[in-house]
Amino acid sequence: MFEKPLLIETADGSFTFSLPTQKVTYRSKYGARRESQQVFLGGSQILKQSSSPWRIVELGFGTGMNFLETARACFERKVALEYVSFENKPLGLSELESVISANGYQDESASELVRAVFSDFEYSQKDRRIKARDRSLSLELCFCNWGDIDFGQDKFDTVYFDPFGPKSQADSWGPSAFAYAFSLLRVGGTLVTYSSAGQVQRLLKSVGFGVQKLPGPAGKREVLVAHRI
């Protein structure tokens, strides 16, 4: 039985869920939207690129905030986006609706895609991969563990590496998780994560990444950006 998530307001006025007994929040309590924008969208430099579509793969769909923020920014700048996300403990559609509307995304086509994918999933309860598309935006959810699907090599420009922290999800921070991320990226592609732990830097380097630190958002001194060399 999964714990019921609690909707909380974070320091920048945006909302996320917390799981109080596990002592985790889906996005930072110091600013959920700011974390998505600065760490993931900002770290990946998507909006400075000229190529389109931009192809992102994410470890951990959670509340969908990274997807919704990225889709909004790509829409404003006319960049096509192909977004694939892995999620092994999905929130329910009604929970997603509450966080989508608390954050003001409810009328955007990206939130329509979230609804389409999660209602298909709730209806079928067995499809592991569900995809929805609206013009230059596509969303594919892989309802399984990170690493369980073979996409072939070099398929993505960016990895959003976003599990809960290693204290609660140690397996998601192991060498095989980073090796899989490396294999999915094209040469020159980028992995971004909110962690800056020494162990994470060492693992990234051990699978072949070049690692850089960037200033973090509120509540985090530094975050990591890793490049497939």
The footprint of ligand SAM (CB under 6 A) covers 26-27, 36, 59-66, 86-89, 145-146, 162-164, 169, 172
Amino acid, single-letter form, for residue 107: D
Residue 145 CB partners (closer than 8 Å, separation 6+): 86, 88
Residue with smaller CB distance to ligand SAM, 51 or 170: 170
Can you name the residues that pair with 133 across neighbouring β-strands? 138
Which is nearer to ligand SAM, 51 or 167 (by Cβ)?
167
Number of residues assigned to the chain? 229
Q: In whole angstroms, how close is the CB of 14 to ligand SAM at the nearest point?
A: 11
Q: Which two tokens stand for residue 90?
A: 């999905």
We find the least distance from the C-beta atom of residue 27 to ligand SAM, in angstroms, to be 5
Output 176 or 206, the one with its CB closest to ligand SAM: 176
Q: How far is the CB of 102 from ligand SAM (least distance, A)?
A: 13
**Four-point Cα dihedral 36, 39, 40, 43, nearest 10:** 150
Closest to 120 in 3D by CA, of 101, 95, 85, 93: 93
- Give the closest residue to 93 by CA, choosing from 68, 66, 119: 119
* Least distance between ligand SAM and beta carbon 153 (Å): 20
Which residue of this chain has its Cβ atom nearest to ligand SAM in the complex? Answer: 60
Name which of 163 and 189 has its Cβ closer to ligand SAM: 163
